[in-house]
């Protein structure tokens, strides 16, 4: 989704702004722009398309002098992707420039008001009203004006503002949309996400709602809307810069698929001590845990698919009813949630607007919230009651792989931890499961070694128009993710279906040559899924099957990929690997933009 970057210092701002925008490309966007104060006026350069186009237009940012500037990558909400709708937006006379992430919900009223006063708008965006309001209210004091404008805005925003008359300041504000300030020597930075400034500094301020930052060359002052100074703690980012680079791989997605054994090990290992799962992050006693009569899982996209897997695992191991809910649906359906409901929120970014709002709804209704989040210090992590971090490191490809896998790993840890506290997992089973969990990264390595076979199968199917994924129980939950991965990055239509449900509708779509990817790992249901496979084969389907290596007889059902047999709970972590690789190779054969699929954003910070 949209990205913000800003620079103030003694160097030319343009080249850094472009590098920063390039680092934010992974979030997904459709146009980009920069604005610099050249000492006497604001100069804006914008281009629909990629940062590469903006680089060409600006000679890599060298064509405009100026040591203060703001930049933006836009993911269109109000108004089509175009040069004119790209940010930064100028006020009518060109005195103020604004970049904005989020949505101004009352922009139409504000626009009507200003239009009636004679203000002429250029774009279709909600953001332009902020720039125009700045000019409308300006009486010579930049901060006063920003505060006045903020009073008028409803919605969410992270803002960067520069003014023609103040070449020595950038103003930054946040409300419900992430924003950080990077601290350098004789230079300071603004960004929606640390990846944009990692090459320059690792010390940051993390902005909170309604804080206003005034960035100068030699310092940063943070105030509240009453102009009182706020003293914030400096945070140091300990990410490895290489983690946000491709490191010789053609795509981030492939690199991240290959990083999964390490990411899972980093997530699990510190939480297993002497054969026991230790989750110090969870502030619930056994007594408190026993009070819950329901678990409620809230998430979007792939994180929701982790929630569907978790439903099967928790219900089996904890004997508590579990509902996995799409956060965007949960919010508006008057859910039955109260203090007897334990809510688990899953989010890679920790900033997904729907997930965040659903979490707040659950909290309002008295539910205790545990979040599973990858980005440290993100809104969901901070606002949940307890947070369990996944240690996947930065995930850059829009289509998630290693974050999904580490979220699954936390689900296993929680199942064991709670199962032990509730007494629903017996000691022998517990011991065996912990041992298998510790060995999981090695097992994943062996599945990754089989990648050429999956590449070969992708080469047979990449011209398909429709692909079906079927499975039962956890295999069904996993098929949802396999199908989404394929759709997201290869643009091939696909559907995931509970295998037993197929004959109640979707089987009418199966014809000669239709690819069906059957997940057949769940031991208890092998015979059932084999019957479903026969049903589609009889109707001409071309079957690719994923099965455990103790069921070699499944070779006869189609092109079969074998994964090592592990306990049922852990199977999704192995079976998802061929699904990720399959989607990746198909998209690669089709020449798709794998890391930044069309229309998609990594972190969806609008509703
Ligand atoms: C977007 C991404 C998905 C992701 C979903 C939830 O739609 O494209 O890959 O699964 O958001 O994101 P989160 O950061 O909350 O896990």
Ligand 1 near 355 CB (within 6 A): yes
User: What is the percent of the chain with per-residue pLDDT over 90, rounded to a whole number?
Assistant: 84
E strand segments, 38-88:
42-48, 68-74
Instruction: Give the pLDDT score at 600.
Output: 83
- What digits encode the pLDDT tens for the residues 561-578? 999 999 999 999 999 999
C-alpha span between 557 and 541 (Å, rounded): 11
Q: Whose CA is nearest to atom 4 of ligand 1?
A: 301
CA of 463 to the centre of ligand 1 (A): 27
Average pLDDT over residues 476-484: 97
pLDDT for residue 242 is more than 70: no
Q: Is residue 352 part of a domain?
A: yes
In contact, 65 and 20? CB cutoff 8 Å: no
Residue with tokens 């000691």: 427
Average pLDDT over residues 503-516: 87
User: What is the percent of the chain with per-residue pLDDT over 70, rounded to a whole number?
Assistant: 99
Ligand 1 near 132 CB (within 6 A): no
3-state secondary structure (DSSP) of residue 58:
helix
Burial 410-442 (b: 16+ CB within 10 A, else e): bbbbbbbbbbbbbebbeeeebeebbeebeebbe
Q: Whose CA is nearest to atom 7 of ligand 1?
A: 301
| Start-to-end C-alpha separation, the chain | 12
pLDDT for residue 1 is more than 80: no
86 and 208 belong to one structural domain? yes
Instruction: Give the pLDDT score at 240.
Output: 67
Of 2, 35, 300, 592, which residue is the catalytic one?
A: 2
Q: Is residue 597 part of a domain?
A: no
- Average pLDDT over the chain, rounded to an integer: 94
Q: Is residue 496 part of a domain?
A: yes
CATH code of the domain in which 95 resides: 3.60.20.10
C-alpha span between 329 and 40 (Å, rounded): 50
479 and 373 belong to one structural domain? no
Ligand 1, residue 600: give the atom nearest the CA: 8
CA of 375 to the centre of ligand 1 (A): 12
Ligand 1 near 64 CB (within 6 A): no
pLDDT for residue 605 is more than 80: no
- pTM for this predicted structure: 0.83
Ligand 1 near 372 CB (within 6 A): no
CA of 303 to the centre of ligand 1 (A): 7
In this prediction, residue 596 has a pLDDT band, given cuts at 50, 70 and 90, of confident
In this prediction, residue 451 has a pLDDT band, given cuts at 50, 70 and 90, of very high
Instruction: Give the pLDDT score at 81.
Output: 87
- What digits encode the pLDDT tens for the residues 358-374? 999 999 999 999 999 99
190 and 170 belong to one structural domain? yes
* Residue 595 exposed, middle or buried by CB count within 10 Å (0-12, 13-18, 19+): buried
Instruction: Give the pLDDT score at 245.
Output: 75
Count of domains observed in the chain: 3
DSSP string, 500-557: GGGGGTGGGG--TT-EEEEEE--GGGHHHHHHHHHHHHHTT-EEEEEEETT-GGGGGG
- What digits encode the pLDDT tens for the residues 314-334? 999 999 999 999 999 998 999
Q: Fill in the DSSP letter of residue 281.
A: T
Of 46, 311, 356, 602, which residue is the catalytic one?
A: 602
**Domain end point (choices 426, 446, 466):** 446
CA of 304 to the centre of ligand 1 (A): 9
Domain enclosing residue 279, as ranges: 253-446
Ligand 1 near 303 CB (within 6 A): yes
Ligand 1, residue 300: give the atom nearest the CA: 6
192 and 338 belong to one structural domain? no
420 and 502 belong to one structural domain? no
Q: Bigger pLDDT: 547 or 237?
A: 547
**Domain end point (choices 446, 472, 489):** 446
Ligand 1 near 153 CB (within 6 A): no
In this prediction, residue 35 has a pLDDT band, given cuts at 50, 70 and 90, of very high
Is 2 known to be catalytic? Answer: yes
413 and 324 belong to one structural domain? yes
Instruction: Give the pLDDT score at 603.
Output: 76
Q: Is residue 599 part of a domain?
A: no
Identify the H or E element spanning 130: helix 128-137
CA of 351 to the centre of ligand 1 (A): 9
pLDDT for residue 241 is more than 70: no
425 and 518 belong to one structural domain? no
Ligand 1, residue 399: give the atom nearest the CA: 9
Other beta carbons less than 10 A from residue 334's beta carbon = 9
Q: Whose CA is nearest to atom 2 of ligand 1?
A: 602
pLDDT for residue 313 is more than 90: yes
CATH code of the domain in which 494 resides: 3.40.50.10490
Q: Which residues pair with 90 in a beta bridge?
A: 97
Instruction: Give the pLDDT score at 155.
Output: 92
- What digits encode the pLDDT tens for the residues 380-437? 999 999 999 999 998 989 999 999 999 999 999 999 999 999 999 999 999 999 999 9
């Amino acid at each position: 989704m949209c990205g913000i970057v800003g620079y103030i210092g003694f160097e030319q701002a343009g080249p850094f702004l472009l590098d920063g925008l390039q680092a934010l490309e992974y979030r997904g966007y459709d146009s980009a722009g920069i604005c610099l104060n050249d000492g006497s006026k604001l100069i804006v350069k914008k281009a629909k398309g990629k940062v590469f186009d903006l680089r060409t237009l600006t000679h890599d940012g060298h064509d405009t002098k100026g040591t203060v500037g703001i930049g933006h990558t836009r993911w269109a909400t109000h108004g089509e992707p175009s040069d004119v709708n790209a940010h930064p937006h100028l006020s009518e006379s060109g005195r103020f420039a604004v970049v904005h992430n989020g949505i101004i919900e009352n922009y139409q009223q504000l626009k009507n008001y200003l239009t009636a006063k004679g203000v002429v708008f250029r774009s279709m965006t909600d953001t332009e009203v902020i720039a125009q309001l700045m000019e409308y209210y300006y009486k010579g004091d930049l901060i006063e004006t920003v505060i006045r404008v903020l009073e008028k805005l409803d919605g969410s925003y992270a803002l960067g503002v520069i003014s023609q008359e103040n070449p020595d300041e950038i103003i930054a504000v946040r409300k419900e949309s992430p924003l950080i300030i990077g601290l350098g020597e004789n230079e300071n930075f603004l960004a929606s996400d640390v990846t944009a400034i990692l090459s320059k500094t690792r010390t940051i301020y993390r902005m909170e709602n309604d804080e206003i930052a005034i960035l100068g060359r030699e310092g940063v002052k943070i105030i509240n809307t009453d102009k009182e100074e706020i003293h914030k703690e400096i945070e140091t980012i300990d990410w490895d810069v290489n983690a946000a680079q491709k490191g010789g791989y053609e795509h981030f997605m492939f690199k991240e698929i290959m990083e999964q054994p390490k990411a899972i090990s980093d997530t699990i290992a510190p939480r297993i001590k002497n054969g026991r799962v230790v989750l110090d992050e969870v502030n619930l006693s056994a007594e408190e845990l026993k009070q819950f009569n329901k678990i409620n899982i809230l998430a979007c996209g792939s994180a929701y698919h982790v929630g569907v897997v978790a439903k099967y695992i928790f219900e089996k191991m904890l004997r508590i009813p579990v509902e996995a809910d799409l956060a965007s649906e949960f919010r508006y359906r008057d859910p039955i949630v109260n203090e007897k409901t334990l809510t688990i929120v899953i989010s890679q970014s920790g900033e997904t607007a729907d997930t965040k709002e659903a979490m707040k709804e659950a909290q309002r209704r008295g539910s205790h919230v545990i979040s599973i989040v990858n980005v440290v210090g993100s809104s969901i992590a901070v606002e949940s009651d307890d947070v369990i971090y996944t240690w996947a490191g930065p995930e850059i490809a829009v289509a998630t792989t290693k974050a999904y896998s580490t979220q699954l790993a936390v689900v296993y840890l929680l199942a064991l931890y709670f199962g032990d506290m509730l007494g629903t997992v017996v000691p022998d089973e517990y011991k065996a499961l912990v041992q298998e969990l510790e060995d999981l990264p090695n097992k994943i390595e062996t599945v990754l070694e089989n990648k050429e076979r999956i590449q070969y199968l992708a080469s047979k199917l990449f011209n398909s128009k429709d692909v079906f994924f079927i499975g039962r129980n956890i295999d069904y939950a996993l098929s949802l993710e396999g199908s989404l991965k394929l759709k997201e990055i290869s643009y091939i239509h696909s559907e995931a279906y509970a295998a037993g449900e197929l004959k109640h509708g979707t089987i009418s779509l199966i014809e000669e040559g239709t690819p069906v990817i059957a997940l057949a790992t769940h031991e208890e249901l092998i015979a059932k899924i084999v019957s479903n496979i026969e049903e589609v084969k009889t109707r001409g389907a071309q079957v690719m099957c994923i099965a455990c290596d103790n069921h070699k007889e499944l070779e006869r059902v189609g092109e079969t990929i074998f994964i090592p047999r592990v306990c049922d709970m852990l199977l999704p972590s192995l079976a998802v690997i061929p699904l990720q690789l399959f989607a990746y190779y198909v998209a690669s054969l089709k020449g798709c933009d794998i890391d930044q699929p069309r229309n998609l954003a990594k972190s969806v910070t609008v509703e």
